[in-house]
Amino acid sequence: MRVLINGDERELSGSVTITGLVESLELSSQRVAIELNRNVIRKKDWPETSVNDGDQIEVVHFVGGG
């Protein structure tokens, strides 16, 4: 299936959840927020939220500092 992640087209194989996507991108789940088709997905919903062909995903990284 093809999805857009932060504007870049990516090919994913098989069924993928948001949790699986974050893991496959090797991101720390503690420092990201995920938007799926313009809806922010709560972290507690990641395991049961499926990624589908044509979805648009935005990954936002939190950066600390002062």
Query: CATH number of 2-61: 3.40.50.1370, 3.90.1310.10, 1.10.486.10, 3.10.20.30?
Result: 3.10.20.30
Helix (H, G, I), strand (E, B) or coil at 35: strand
Determine the pLDDT at residue 1.
94
* Residue 16 three-state SS: strand
Write out pLDDT tens, residues 7-66: 999 999 889 999 999 999 998 888 899 999 999 999 999 999 999 999 999 999 887 766
Any idea where the domains of the chain sit in the sequence? 2-61
Q: What is the rounded CA–CA span in Å between residue 59 and residue 3?
A: 13
Angle 46-30-53 from CA coordinates, rounded to 5° = 35
Query: What is the predicted pLDDT for the residue at 30?
Result: 87
At 38 the pLDDT is 96
In three-state secondary structure terms, 33 is strand
pTM, two decimals, is 0.88
